[in-house]
Amino acid sequence: MKHGESRFRVRYAETDQMGVVHHANYIIWFEQGRTDYMRKIGVNYADVERSGLFLAVGEVQIRYGAPARYDDEVRVLTRIDRVQSRAVTFAYEVLRADSDERLASGYTRLIAMDANGTARTLPRDLLQRFAEVMHATAS
């Protein structure tokens, strides 16, 4: 099992007056990487929410490298870094597609919640799938 990979171009609206991508957008790119990776490992997050389980972001960290610019093609590499009974942590690397230059790296820790925002445990099948994928990627 390999990490996930999302690939897309920088949108004009994602730039700021410094002429580069505004740093808040990397959180959204992480999220896109996570959605794509979950689908790849057989977990459709839209269905997960419809089943009444919500993965809310409890913590995020980002370290920025080289700036991304409008129309650059970027790659987001996603993997699972840690699985707990009530939380799962995804780690990300964002690279410029043509040079593999590092644009950013970071993680988000997601907390399992029900529709009312109360913390709950992850369902057993999801927990096992996340753990399985994490071990396969690490080896």
Which of the residues are catalytic?
A: 16
Q: State which residue, 32 or 137, has the beta carbon closest to a second copy.
A: 32
CB 68 within 8 Å of CB 103 = yes
What is the Cα–Cα distance from 12 to 76, expressed in whole angstroms? 18
9 to 28: interface string for a second copy, x by CB under 8 A: x-xxx-xxxxxx-xxxx-xx
Find the binder of a second copy among 3, 31, 78, 94 (CB under 8 A). 31
What is the Cα–Cα distance from 104 to 23, expressed in whole angstroms? 9
Phi-psi region of 62 (alpha: psi -120 to 50; beta: other; left: phi over 0): beta
CB 33 within 8 Å of CB 105 = no
Find the binder of a second copy among 52, 59, 119, 121 (CB under 8 A). 59
Find the binder of a second copy among 40, 43, 69, 131 (CB under 8 A). 69
CB 94 within 8 Å of CB 102 = yes
- Is position 43 an interface residue for a second copy (rule: CB under 8 A)? no
Please list every residue from 72 through 131 that binds a second copy, using CB under 8 A. 117
CB 106 within 8 Å of CB 61 = yes
Specify burial of residue 123 (Cβ count, 10 A radius: 0-12, 13-18, 19+): middle
Size of the site for a second copy (CB under 8 A): 39
Find the binder of a second copy among 40, 41, 43, 58 (CB under 8 A). 58
Closest separation between CB of residue 56 and a second copy, Å?
7
- By CB under 8 A, name the binding residues for a second copy: 8-9, 11-13, 15-20, 22-25, 27-28, 31-32, 35, 44-46, 49, 54, 56-64, 67, 69-71, 117
